[in-house]
Amino acid sequence: MIRAAILLLLLAAPQQSFTQFTYCRANAGGPFESLCIQLDPAGAGEARFKRREGEELKTAIALSPGGNTQFLRVLAGTKYLANAKTYESKRKVADLGRKHLTLETITDRREADFNYSDMKDVTELVTFFEALITQEALAVDLVWAMKYDSLGIPERLDKLEDLWKQKRLADPKSLMEVLDLVNRDSNIVNYARAHAQELKEKIAAGK
């Protein structure tokens, strides 16, 4: 109980230490040239995906309580982008997509820019946000398919479930809303709607 209380106190502190955090990555291939996630201390914000020679697509994000705890933990692990200029590895590494991180407080702004880092705390932060980008891109794609490619929804749900089983989603419980949208849409084939409901129940149960 004492350890749990200390952890809660530690997690409470980050919520007051910054106002906004943004993670952006340049994307060499695919339909988007850049992918960004912006979050406040409560885990609310938006994803911004910039199309090549096109408009920026924006969608709201709200992390689950567990997802937000994880976000605050990995951000705190970097001491809120302390020593940001040292993040870049001295090793020669292929282009993995340049990352630009920004942390804003009431009185300060910290930034980091790098391709690859050897630092464990930075790697954990990158891993979390790359997984979050993956799941948000899938959620956006599912919503798009509901409007323009309903026959492609089963394939997208299969991909989503595979990534979930591989633990490659940052916060699967935050996907409940989009799975509900699929399940309630009478224009989508019944087995896809049933799959969305089944996947939602598995994620909720943690199975």
> Which residues, other chains included, contact 86 with Cβ-Cβ below 8 Å and sequence gap of 6+?
119
Q: Which residues pair with 115 in a beta bridge?
A: none
Write the pLDDT tens digit of every residue in 69-107: 999 999 999 999 999 999 999 998 888 999 999 999 999
Write the pLDDT tens digit of every residue in 97-135: 999 999 999 999 999 999 999 999 999 999 999 999 999
Q: Tell me how crowded residue 20 is: count the other CB atoms within 10 A of its CB.
A: 14
User: Looking up tokens 């630092």, which residue turns up?
Assistant: 119
> Which residues, other chains included, contact 146 with Cβ-Cβ below 8 Å and sequence gap of 6+?
153, 181, 182, 185, 187, 188
**Calpha distance 55→49 (Å, rounded):** 9
Residue 97 sits at φ, ψ, to 5 deg, of: 95, 110
Q: Could you tell me if 58 and 46 are in contact, meaning their C-beta atoms sit under 8 angstroms apart?
A: yes
Element (H, E) at 74: helix 65-77
> Which residues, other chains included, contact 147 with Cβ-Cβ below 8 Å and sequence gap of 6+?
none
Tell me the residue type at 72.
L
Q: Could you tell me if 68 and 128 are in contact, meaning their C-beta atoms sit under 8 angstroms apart?
A: no
Q: Tell me how crowded residue 160 is: count the other CB atoms within 10 A of its CB.
A: 25
Share of the chain above pLDDT 90, in %: 76
Half-sphere exposure of 73 (CA within 13 A, CB side): 12
Q: Could you tell me if 59 and 47 are in contact, meaning their C-beta atoms sit under 8 angstroms apart?
A: yes
Write the pLDDT tens digit of every residue in 163-200: 999 999 999 999 999 999 999 999 999 999 999 999 99
**Calpha distance 98→114 (Å, rounded):** 6
